[in-house]
Structure 1
Amino acid sequence: MRVLEIDHPLVAHKLTVLRDRSTHSSVFRQLADELVTLLAYEATRNVAVAPVEIETPVSGMTGTKLTNPKPMVVPILRAGLGMLDGMTRLLPTAEVGFLGMVRNEETLEVTTYANRLPDDLTGRQCFVVDPMLATGHTLIAAVNYLHERGARDITCVTLLSAPEGIATLSEAIGEDVDLTVVTAAIDDRLNASGYIVPGLGDAGDRLFGVVD
């Protein structure tokens, strides 16, 4: 498993504003979208391409195009929806699938309650988007779900990651999956409740408000 922590002043600036508890949800959504676009630039560095012959106004040339099958972006509901536009802005031809997953706050176990994905993902590059890699359980479940459907090339894009979650994910996912994690920052640790420290709080609540 490869882990890429993006070292860029714009990423650091936007992430700092996201962390601030006084940042309003409307600003949080806008900055999260901008931040994901920056992360997507690095996450798609190895997207599958092929040469294509075109004619410019001056001459012919060999260019580059995305290959088939199309990449798939998979947001983890609900918080991952706040990252979807940032990914599809750079991959407008990508198809979008959805995974609904919920973490039990007491046991930290993950349950899948919904999916909207093709049955066969063989040969598809999949980009899983979820704001937080905390305990790692949600992304483990998501990666396994995609792997069971044939996906072998999977990139997880997160705003923040915890060292414990990275270690757990790396240990749980076998060598059959070409897995990359792209994140804006690797924070200090998890607290007893499974939240990233210093973190930014509950990303879903800050994106969309508290749901009772």
Structure 2
Amino acid sequence: MLVHNLSESNSIFNQYLAEIRDEHIQKDPLRFRRNLQRLGEVIAYEISKTLDYKVTNVKTPLGIAKVPTLTQQPVLSTILRAGLPVQQGFLNIFDKAENAFISAYRKYDEEGEFHIEFEYLASPDLNEKVVIISDPMLASGASMEIGYKAMLQKGTPSHVHLVAIIASRKGVEYVREHIDGSNVTLWVGAIDEEMTVNSYIVPGLGDAGDLAFGPKSDSH
């Protein structure tokens, strides 16, 4: 599995990344959501370079322009709810794309341990399509694995791009071990080395869903 870490090169991407991490800037949910969108837009642009194009004749007021255009828009998928701003960023770029949504959450037991519970999937047919699955945080890697395997219920994609804004080193290793990388590429904004016992990335940024949409009840 090929892994792209966008923070390894200097670009405006790192400015947006710094802002979503900043505990003071995080206090503005609108700005937090918009920065997640902008990060999604940058990654979407990078992924667009890997897609297939054909030359299209475009009639202008003065003649014909030959322009490479996408042969097929990707299917955009995200894991609710934290992934919605990133999904919107991708949709801002791939504005004619089909969309899919995965519902999964952490379910805690009486001892405080948790596992990822999969609930719901809404998706178009995926056969021979390029699929992009996004989630802001790749912590343990379990949510991404469940989302990926859930999507395969809807067909066999030609290629899958997995996207996380911030990943833990363990999460990256987990995904590489548990997902067949023959037609999968992983894109991350940054890789952090530590993770708490509750699978929160350190330094990370906190709970992306709460920062974007407000605190949630722990009961399901």
TM-score, L = length of structure 1: 0.90
Q: Distance in 1 between matches of 2:30 and 2:62?
A: 46
Structure 1 counterpart of 2:160, which letter? I
**CA offsets per residue over residues 100-148 of structure 1, 9 Å max, x none?**
1112354442221111112x31111111111001100011111112233
Question: Aligned to 1:76, which of 70, 79, 84?
Answer: 79
The residue correspondences of 1:57-136 to structure 2 (distance < 5 A) are: 57-68=61-72, 70-105=73-108, 106-118=112-124, 120-136=125-141
Q: Name the residue aligned to 2:148.
A: 143
Q: Name the residue aligned to 2:2.
A: 2
Contact 1:108 1:137 in 2 (8 A): no
Q: Name the residue aligned to 1:169.
A: 175
Q: Name the residue aligned to 1:195.
A: 200
1:59 Cα deviation from its structure 2 partner = 4.4
Question: For structure 1, which runs of at least 5 residues remain unmatched after alignment?
Answer: none
Q: Distance in 1 between matches of 2:12 and 2:68?
A: 28
SS at match of 2:162: strand
Percent identical pairs in the alignment equals 27
The residue correspondences of 1:7-26 to structure 2 (distance < 5 A) are: 7-23=9-25, 24=27, 25-26=29-30
Q: Distance in 2 between matches of 1:208 and 1:58?
A: 48
Q: Distance in 2 between matches of 1:54 and 1:17?
A: 40
Q: Name the residue aligned to 1:159.
A: 165
Contact 2:121 2:150 in 1 (8 A): no
Q: Name the residue aligned to 1:205.
A: 210
Residue 45 of structure 2 corresponds to residue 51 of structure 1: no
* Residues 61 and 14 of structure 1: CA distance in aligned 2, closer, same or farther (over 3 Å): closer
Q: Distance in 2 between matches of 1:107 and 1:82?
A: 28
Contact 1:43 1:157 in 2 (8 A): no
TM-score, L = length of structure 2: 0.87
Q: Distance in 1 between matches of 2:157 and 2:170?
A: 25
Over aligned residues, Cα RMSD in angstroms?
1.8
1:5 Cα deviation from its structure 2 partner = 0.8
1:206 Cα deviation from its structure 2 partner = 0.5
Q: Distance in 2 between matches of 1:20 and 1:60?
A: 48
Q: Name the residue aligned to 1:34.
A: 38
* Residues 101 and 130 of structure 1: CA distance in aligned 2, closer, same or farther (over 3 Å): same
1:52 Cα deviation from its structure 2 partner = 2.2
Q: Distance in 2 between matches of 1:48 and 1:98?
A: 24
Question: For structure 2, which runs of at least 5 residues remain unmatched after alignment?
Answer: none
Contact 1:154 1:180 in 2 (8 A): yes
Contact 2:105 2:117 in 1 (8 A): yes
How many pairs does the alignment contain? Answer: 209
Q: Distance in 2 between matches of 1:89 and 1:74?
A: 14
* Residues 75 and 127 of structure 1: CA distance in aligned 2, closer, same or farther (over 3 Å): same
